[in-house]
Amino acid sequence: MTGELLSVGLDLGTSTTQMVLSRLKLENRASPWAVPKVDITEKEVIYRSPVHFTPLLSDTRIDAAAVRALVEAEYQKAGVSRDSLQTGAVIITGETARKENARQVLEALAGLAGDFVVATAGPDLESLLAARGAGVDKLSRERHGAVLHFDVGGGTSNLALYDRGKLVDTGCLDVGGRLVKVDALTHKITYVMEKLRGLFPGVAVGETATREVLTPVCQAMTEALLEAAGLRPPGRWLKHFITHKTVDLTVKPNYFTFSGGVADCVWSPGEDDFAYGDMGVLLGRVIRRGFEEAGAALLPTEETIRATVVGAGSHATELSGSTIFYRDVDFPIKNLPVLRLDCPVERLEEELERALPMYADEGGQNPVCLALRGPENPSYQEVRALARAIRAGLSPLVEAGEVTVVAVENDMAKALGQCLYPLLPHGKLLCVDAVHAAQGSYIDLLAPACGGTVLPVVVKTLAFEKGG
């Protein structure tokens, strides 16, 4: 029992736009005489686009038409049609997400990127994808230690802390190579990000950039990274550059890694300080010196500038458990809000009744995905009681003819589905397990793969990862 998924990753960043195509191999890893267990056994990037500058109409508007044309051209070069893409993620990252028309661009792209592709953004998910794309989860597992990863891009730095293969926390700082832009020929400063204005002498639009003028900016940013890494006590610069939150250092990092465009400049900055028309080269150099002086152990990563896009292409899609239940479901189900309840089964019906109206509007009750942990090694009676409580609690949805979607963590989805199905007047039921979805996240459930045994799932949230 094997299968394959063709997945696309598209990263629309502050400074660069990139695309990758990945082939995900699915394989049953259980012995033929046991219950199947399908896993993604191989993730191979089969096409990498060149690194394009993100087309902008102005400092605050993305050129949606140009982005569209760019993606179409890349599909052609890769020799794929959008219909052949089964999963993946389009993400608008960094400062670009704050542009005025980010939403329209996403919408224009979502259509182009094939029916199955999810469009998503958000700094937590971005940090996670960049770290996974750089191979940091693997690195920390192999070294049995804690790794703090910085994806230093054009507009933001995404932080992710991994401990022995598991994600601990994420954060985001306004530290990036393109927060000051410089004309490559005249070295005149053409753009300064708001947070930097008026703080550093000579750093203003129209002034001439030199190493001496920009080094204090790079030092302040590096100081913020060092403070976030716990290598310096938290101070003024960390506070100044925080986007929404930094990582909570509940474990002390043993190693530090870098990806993103600036990471290339950390390792090999080159001769020309303004080769890319920004301060990335200088920033890379200052970061390296700062971390080395602080005695930090730096490790190289599998990917640098392409980490986020490889993360989106190869690591956004997870698989459900291999014993699941679905009947009369139209796939894919996209952007379903997750309602998470981890109360005892006796209170589930009542809690569902209380929570469901939050997902209703003038149009009536909107569908949700009910997420719960579920008992470990349940008895049949427990499964049946759970099925009854879910049926009763989800009555408004069931009676509106909506599909019932339940995502449990513990291995019991097929049994739960078989118990629940007869209780529904119209069928339309989907039960998956081995999926962790937190309250407030959204979930995409794609068409079954590998002989119908598993569902590819994309949880759009900061998800805790499955063990191991």
Partner 1 sequence: MNETELKQMVEQMVRDLAGRGELHAAPKGEVHHPDPAQTQSPGSSGGCHSDITEVDLRKQYLVESPANGPAFLDLKARTPARIGLGRAGARYKTDTMLRFRADHAAAQDSVFSLVAEDYPAKHGYFPVQTLCETKDEYLTRPDKGRRFDEANQAILKQRLPQGAKVVLAVGDGLSSAAIEANAADCIDAIRAGLKGYGIEAPEVPFVKFCRVGAGDHIGQITDCQLICLLVGERPGLVTAESMSAYITYMPRLGVPESKRTVVSNIHKGGTNAVEAGAHIAQLIRDILDKKASGVDLVRS
Q: Mark the segment that binds partner 1 (CB under 8 A) among 10-18, 265-273, 391-399, 412-420.
A: 412-420
Report if residue 417 touches partner 1, rule: CB under 8 A.
yes
Report if residue 323 touches partner 1, rule: CB under 8 A.
yes
Q: Could you tell me if 45 and 310 are in contact, meaning their C-beta atoms sit under 8 angstroms apart?
A: yes
Report if residue 240 touches partner 1, rule: CB under 8 A.
no
Report if residue 421 touches partner 1, rule: CB under 8 A.
yes
Q: Mark the segment that binds partner 1 (CB under 8 A) among 29-37, 95-103, 266-274, 354-362.
A: 29-37
Give the nearer residue to partner 1 in terms of CB position, either 206 or 380: 380
Report if residue 326 touches partner 1, rule: CB under 8 A.
no
Sort residue 241 into left (φ over 0), alpha (ψ -120 to 50) or beta. Answer: alpha
Report if residue 35 touches partner 1, rule: CB under 8 A.
yes
Hey, which bits of 153-293 come out as E strands?
157-163, 166-173, 180-182, 189-192, 255-259
Give the nearer residue to partner 1 in terms of CB position, either 141 or 334: 141
Report if residue 360 touches partner 1, rule: CB under 8 A.
no
Q: Could you tell me if 322 and 415 are in contact, meaning their C-beta atoms sit under 8 angstroms apart?
A: no
Report if residue 140 touches partner 1, rule: CB under 8 A.
no
For partner 1 (CB under 8 A), the number of binding residues is 30
Contact track, partner 1, 88-127, x by CB under 8 A: ----------------------------------------
Q: Which residues contact 82 (CB under 8 A, 6 or more apart)?
A: 75, 112, 113, 114
Give the nearer residue to partner 1 in terms of CB position, either 101 or 418: 418
Two tokens, residue 365: 């009750």
DSSP track, 389-433? HHHHHTHHHHHTTPPEEEEESSS-HHHHHHHHGGG-SS--EEEE-
Residue 400 CB: number of other CB atoms within 10 A? 11
Provide, rounded to whole angstroms, the least separation between the CB of residue 94 and partner 1: 34
Report if residue 411 touches partner 1, rule: CB under 8 A.
yes
Give the nearer residue to partner 1 in terms of CB position, either 163 or 273: 163
Residue from 320, 308, 311, 317 nearest 88 by CA: 317
Q: Could you tell me if 443 and 332 are in contact, meaning their C-beta atoms sit under 8 angstroms apart?
A: no
Bridging pattern class, strands 404-408 and 118-121: unpaired
CA 122 to the chain's CA centroid? 8
d(CA 155, CA 171): 14
Among 29, 77, 103, 144, binds partner 1 (CB under 8 A): 144
Report if residue 419 touches partner 1, rule: CB under 8 A.
yes
Report if residue 343 touches partner 1, rule: CB under 8 A.
no
d(CA 404, CA 397): 7
Provide, rounded to whole angstroms, the least separation between the CB of residue 322 and partner 1: 9
Q: Is 43 helix (H, G, I), strand (E, B) or coil?
A: strand
Provide, rounded to whole angstroms, the least separation between the CB of residue 415 and partner 1: 4
Report if residue 409 touches partner 1, rule: CB under 8 A.
no
Q: Mark the segment that binds partner 1 (CB under 8 A) among 106-114, 200-208, 411-419, 454-462.
A: 411-419
Give the nearer residue to partner 1 in terms of CB position, either 21 or 415: 415
Report if residue 386 touches partner 1, rule: CB under 8 A.
no
Q: Mark the segment that binds partner 1 (CB under 8 A) among 112-120, 175-183, 348-356, 407-415.
A: 407-415
Provide, rounded to whole angstroms, the least separation between the CB of residue 182 and partner 1: 46
Q: Is 89 helix (H, G, I), strand (E, B) or coil?
A: strand
Provide, rounded to whole angstroms, the least separation between the CB of residue 295 and partner 1: 21
Q: What is the DSSP letter of 298?
A: E
Helix ranges (H only) for 280-412 are 280-293, 307-314, 345-355, 380-393, 395-399
Q: Mark the segment that binds partner 1 (CB under 8 A) among 98-106, 259-267, 389-397, 405-413.
A: 405-413
Report if residue 413 touches partner 1, rule: CB under 8 A.
yes
Residue from 461, 47, 15, 91 nearest 308 by CA: 91
Report if residue 425 touches partner 1, rule: CB under 8 A.
no
Report if residue 378 touches partner 1, rule: CB under 8 A.
yes
Q: Could you tell me if 121 and 461 are in contact, meaning their C-beta atoms sit under 8 angstroms apart?
A: no
Among 23, 164, 289, 334, binds partner 1 (CB under 8 A): 164
Q: Is 105 helix (H, G, I), strand (E, B) or coil?
A: helix
Give me the residues that bind partner 1 (CB under 8 A), please: 31-35, 141, 144, 164-165, 323, 325, 376-380, 383-384, 411-415, 417-419, 421-422, 467-468
